Amino acid sequence: MVTAILFSLGGVPPVEAEGPALRADMIQTLQSMQSQLKAGEDATVASRAAASAARLEGGNAADRWARALFLQLAASANAHQGNDAEAADQFAEARRIDDVPDTRRLSWLYQEARLRLSAGQTRQGADLLTRWVERSGGDDASRWLLVQVRASLKEWSAAADSLDRISESDTGGWSPSQRQLASTVYQQTGRFDDALALLGDGGNSPDAWRRAAGLARQAGDDGRAAAIWESGWRRGVLTSNDDLLQLARLHIAGGTPARAGEHLTRWLDSGQLDSSTANLRLLAEAWTAARHHDQALAAWQTLAERSDRAQDWQQLAELSYGWGEWQTTLDALAGLRRSGGEISGRDWLLQGIAATQLDRPDVARKAFRQAKAAGVEQAQQWLDSLG
């Protein structure tokens, strides 16, 4: 949301140069109110100018021009008092009056747009500001404001259009905040190369690649973040151990876990990454997410044998049972017992089912009796089925 927008409100125009000719007493009244406005008598001017405008409604061309000028004075006074919405309404009313010169109408359009934004009427203000930019050509300040407003409304394509017009001129003078805003807009519209180029040296700076991937993650696009990180790795920029592990994590989060498994296997086999339990666990998680059964079970078994943690044996048992690998299920549950892990009723049930599938009824009966003693209701049904 755009807040605290400062703007300059013009006073009464030189009436001799603009619009229909006014009577001398009308000019004197307008100038009197302008003096009061300069003196800070905002409430008085707001009331007097609005009343004068109302009395002139329906008059001739000169009256209509004078009415528009009184509305401008009322709007200026209200804006000084922070009554932004009311001031915007008065500028809108003034713009619609016949016989108002185009230059003055355009100026009031701009002031109304900024007042709408200050009043929190963001969409209306954005539309008005767009119209003003299209009619007047705008300037960099107004275009940056339009980019900011459209971004606040998540209208990324419109924000990118305004940004492209700014980009036609030299971007060397952009501030860090402007570059950050531009990068966000480009990232949101899928123009990641443009976003990356604005964040720094797109070819050689690791931080630039990391920030670009971070933008994608902030937008909820882990897949794009993984693609950006992969590009940085392939260019030889993101090559530290932490960078490699982050690439694998991004592939897992971004929906390409098999790519993570392939990378990790290669890096572990080559010694580029050490075979720590943390790295082996990441490999196992990658193959599991990819549902590559053989690789996943092998990775979990290697990890469980290395760590001898009950949780790792348990995970191997659950996965192998779910995938119908009965002997691996029995081996994993045996490892769970050796590691000192707590054997639950469900663990005994899984062991009994796996033994049944392997045609080992004695082992199955013993396991089902243990499961029954632990309160697993299904155990009795399995015992009955064995006779």
The burial class, CB within 10 Å (0-12 / 13-18 / 19+), for 269 is exposed
Q: Given this model, what pLDDT does residue 10 score?
A: 45
Q: Has residue 143 been placed in a domain?
A: no
CATH code, 287: 1.25.40
Closest C-alpha among 292, 345, 288 to residue 312: 288
Q: Tally Cβ neighbours within 10 Å of residue 385.
A: 10
Query: Which structural domain, as residue segments, surrounds residue 77?
Result: 1-138
375: helix, coil or strand?
coil
Rounded distance between C-alpha atoms, residue 87 and residue 303, angstroms = 70
pLDDT tens for each residue of the chain, 387 residues long: 333 333 334 444 444 457 788 889 999 999 999 999 999 999 999 999 999 999 988 888 999 999 999 999 999 999 999 999 999 999 999 999 988 889 999 999 999 999 999 999 999 999 999 999 999 988 888 999 999 999 999 999 999 998 988 888 665 678 888 888 898 888 788 787 787 777 655 457 788 788 888 878 877 889 988 988 998 899 898 999 999 999 999 999 999 999 999 999 999 999 999 999 999 999 999 999 999 999 999 999 999 999 999 999 999 999 999 999 999 999 999 999 999 988 999 999 999 999 999 999 999 999 999 999 999 888 899 998 987
Q: Given this model, what pLDDT does residue 5 score?
A: 33
70 and 117 together in one domain: yes
* Listed residues 205, 221, 236: the one ending a domain: 236
What's the number of domains the chain is made of? 4
121 and 13 together in one domain: yes
Q: Whole-model pTM above 0.75?
A: no
Q: Which residues contact 359 (CB under 8 A, 6 or more apart)?
A: none
Which bin fits 272, alpha (ψ -120 to 50), beta or left (φ > 0)? alpha
Q: Given this model, what pLDDT does residue 204 score?
A: 72
173 and 260 together in one domain: no
Rounded distance between C-alpha atoms, residue 83 and residue 115, angstroms = 9
302 and 313 together in one domain: no
Q: Tally Cβ neighbours within 10 Å of residue 2.
A: 17
Rounded distance between C-alpha atoms, residue 306 and residue 368, angstroms = 30
Q: Given this model, what pLDDT does residue 171 score?
A: 54
Rounded distance between C-alpha atoms, residue 295 and residue 362, angstroms = 31
CATH code, 337: 1.25.40.10
Rounded distance between C-alpha atoms, residue 130 and residue 122, angstroms = 12
Q: Has residue 371 been placed in a domain?
A: yes
Rounded distance between C-alpha atoms, residue 297 and residue 312, angstroms = 11
